[in-house]
Amino acid sequence: MRSGLISEGMGQENGAISASVPDVSVVVPVRDEVESLPHLLEAIASTLSDNQINYEIICVDDGSTDGSAEFLKQQAQIRTDLKAVILRRNYGQTAAMSAGFNYAVGKAIVTLDADLQNDPADIPMLLAKLDDGYDLVSGWRQKRQDGAVNRLLPSKIANWLIRRTTSVYIHDYGCSLKAYRAELVADMNLYGELHRFLPALAYIEGARITEMPVRHHARKFGRSKYGISRTFRVLMDLLTILFMKKFLTRPMHVFGLLGLSSMAVGVGIGIYLTFVKLAMGEMIGNRPLLILAVLLLVTGVQLFCFGLLAELLMRTYHESQGRPIYRVREVIENKNTRT
């Protein structure tokens, strides 16, 4: 098959990429997967070549210590379809994916894990779905081959929380097998561990998103790098996404509202204590309410100032990069000259 994203230009033979710009860049973050890599590279090359898709593979080694980096260097010297990006140390999967996006030149970008649990045979199906007008197609591992306690349970909880918080109803945020239009990826900046929230980040950019069931295999080599300990990090990143979704271009709306509310309650308590002191003649110096009123006033001023600083930072962020606060999907105009 040949996707509509795939040009009618030269295809590939024997895993060799043509001189033209590749239609698909397959980005693979790698950490300690030297046993899986030979099988993965062969599976990707075989699938895309059989479907006459002009492709490149970008493997980003994220501080491997098992020989993965050396294997990728060796393969990149003899393969024309492979680009090996070796990071200086372990930065995390988000940084590795960001590096892969930066080096990708394809019209579409596909990401998947290096552990062979994602099936490269599903890539053409995801690319075909992009042709239906979507900007991001996310894989959905309906039949996951992972441990129930350390992987499935935390994943189900995290997915439920993310769906409820972001209003982006994807069943499986953690599935690395995803297909993107290149122009969408160019608009997204990744920091921290936000790779889990790429559909939510894409939604903020105005992307059209869907998901498709994909195959999932049991791990054949090595061991998983994930576990229940990542739940706390997911919750912290979720708060970041929530703020970006609602208040990225108007931070004063949240800080200012909280600040004014805090000051209003503090002033209200202060007025009450003043009445108690002047009208009733009671002592208020030893009342906890007095401390609370002062604390609320100070906190309110600080929150309001945070809002002003956040507004300045937001304007600097957008204006220094020439980054607009909107995204244009397309422009339609009549090219005919007016008479």
In 177-287, where does DSSP find H-type helix?
182-186, 198-204, 231-247, 252-280
For residue 170, is it within any domain? yes
For residue 4, is it within any domain? no
> Could you tell me if 275 and 306 lie in one domain?
yes
pLDDT digits (tens, 9 = 90+) for 91-131: 888 889 989 998 999 999 999 999 899 999 999 999 999 99
> Could you tell me if 259 and 236 lie in one domain?
no
For residue 313, is it within any domain? yes
**Residue type at position 143:** K
Q: Which tokens belong to 177?
A: 């097998």
> Could you tell me if 130 and 238 lie in one domain?
yes
Q: Which helix (DSSP H) or strand (DSSP E) does residue 318 occupy?
A: helix 288-320
> Could you tell me if 181 and 81 lie in one domain?
yes
Q: Which of 190, 218, 247 is the last residue of a domain?
A: 247
Nearest Cα residue to 68 out of 30, 94, 116: 30
CA distances from 70 to 84, 222, 248 (A): 10, 17, 42
For residue 19, is it within any domain? no
Q: Quickly tell me which residue has 């009618």 as its tokens.
A: 8
> Could you tell me if 149 and 82 lie in one domain?
yes
| 136-140 β-sheet, strand order | 82-86, 55-61, 24-30, 108-111, 178-181, 136-140, 209-213
> Could you tell me if 93 and 36 lie in one domain?
yes
> Could you tell me if 35 and 173 lie in one domain?
yes
CA distances from 181 to 12, 101, 137, 184 (A): 21, 11, 9, 5
Contact 29, 62 (CB under 8 A): yes
Beta strands at 108-111 and 178-181: parallel, antiparallel or unpaired: antiparallel
> Could you tell me if 135 and 186 lie in one domain?
yes
For residue 6, is it within any domain? no
A 10 A CB-CB count for 4 gives 10
For residue 241, is it within any domain? yes
The reported pLDDT for the residue numbered 326 is 58
For residue 125, is it within any domain? yes
> Could you tell me if 34 and 101 lie in one domain?
yes
| Cβ-based neighbours of 266, under 8 Å, separated by 6 or more | 292, 293, 294, 295, 296, 297, 299, 300
Residue 104 sits in a domain of what CATH number? 3.90.550.10
pLDDT tens for the 339 residues of the chain, in order: 555 665 444 444 444 444 578 999 999 999 999 999 999 999 999 999 999 999 999 999 999 999 999 999 999 999 999 999 999 998 888 889 989 998 999 999 999 999 899 999 999 999 999 999 999 999 998 887 665 555 667 777 777 888 887 788 888 888 899 999 999 988 787 776 778 788 888 888 889 999 999 998 887 876 665 555 566 667 777 777 777 777 777 788 888 889 999 999 999 999 999 988 888 878 888 888 889 999 999 999 999 898 888 888 877 776 676 666 556 666 656 666 545
> Could you tell me if 152 and 123 lie in one domain?
yes
The reported pLDDT for the residue numbered 91 is 87
Q: Rounded CA gap, 179 and 162, in Å?
A: 20
In total, how many domains does the chain have? 2
Q: Which of 215, 230, 247 is the last residue of a domain?
A: 247
> Could you tell me if 188 and 47 lie in one domain?
yes
The reported pLDDT for the residue numbered 13 is 42
For residue 11, is it within any domain? no
> Could you tell me if 202 and 162 lie in one domain?
yes
Task: Give the domain range for residue 220.
Answer: 24-247
CA distances from 103 to 81, 100, 138, 276 (A): 13, 5, 21, 69
Q: Rounded CA gap, 308 and 149, in Å?
A: 45
